[in-house]
Structure 1
Amino acid sequence: MELKDFVKETLSQIAEGIEAAQESVRECGGFVNPAHRVDPKGSNDSHFGVLNNGQNIFLVDFDVSVTVVEDKGNEASAKLQVASLLKIGSGVETSSSNKATNKISFKVPIGLPIDGVSAEQLKQQDQRIREKRKKQADTLQNRSRIRGGIREW
C-alpha cells in the first residue's frame, strides 16, 4: 500500500468510526468527541487547538516503516510504500528494482466529527454568555451616564 493511501484510509476510518459511534454512545448517556472548548493550560500533546464551533483539533501521530521502491523497468519510477511484514502471492517479477526501508514519523492535525447534540448545547451556552455580557455592558454604560450627569430618558 502506498503511504498516501495508508494515511488517507487511516484518517478516514478514524473519522468514520467516531461518527458511527456517536449515536450509540449518546443513547447510553455519553458523548463521543463532544463540542467543547479546552483550556490551553490543561491540554495534552495530542490536542492541537479548537475551532470556534467547539470542534477540537487533535494530532494523529504516524510512526511508519516505509519502503522506497525504485523500479528500473520500462518506466523508471520511485514509490513510497508502507512496509509489510508478510507478502502472499506468486508470480514472476520481470523488472529489476532497488528497495530501501526507512522509518518516518509525522503528525497530522485533524478536526474530528463533533457530536451534534453537544454542538447545539455549546451554541446555546455561547448565546447565554453573549446575552449576559451585553446586559453587563449596558448596565455599565447606564451607570457611567448617570455619574457623568447625562441621564438620558
Structure 2
Amino acid sequence: MLSQRRANLVFVVLVLVACGYFAHLAQGFVTSGLLASSGLPSKFFPQLMLGITALCAVIVGYRYLVDGNVGGDEGETVFADGKEAMQGLSMLIVAVAGYCIWHFLGFLAMAVALGPLSLLAMGIRSPAIHLIVLALTASITVIFVYGLSVDLV
C-alpha cells in the first residue's frame, strides 16, 4: 500500500493546486449582500481561508520533506486494506462530482447532494444520519440566505 509520507506529500501538492485554482475563481466574486455594507470585497474571506489552507499545506509538506516522517507515522500505510482504499477513492469521486454539480447545477444542488453522497461513499447507511445531514444543510442554507442575505445560487 501507499506510505503515509508519500501520500501526504501528494496530498500537499493537490491541496496547493486546488487552493490556487479556487483563489483564481474567487477573484471574480462580486460584492453583494452582507459584505457590500461591510466594505470588504466578497473575495476576502474565501481567499483568506484558501491562503491559510495553503500555508498549512506548505508547513506539512516542509515537515515531511525535511523530517521524513512526522508524528510517529514511520512505516504506516494510508489504507489498511482494499476496502479502505475504495472508500478513499469513492470520496475523491464524490468531491469531483460535487464540484461538477456546483458548476453545472448551482450551489444549492451541490449542497443537497454532497452530504448524502459522502455518507454513502463512507459506508454510512443510517437513514437517521442522512436526515440529520440534510437538516443541517437546510439550516445552514436558511441562515446564510435569510439571516445573512448571501446569494447562494
TM-score (norm 1): 0.27
TM-score by length of 2: 0.27
**Higher helix proportion (structure 1 or 2):** 2
Query: Which of structures 1 and 2 has the bigger CA Rg?
Result: 1
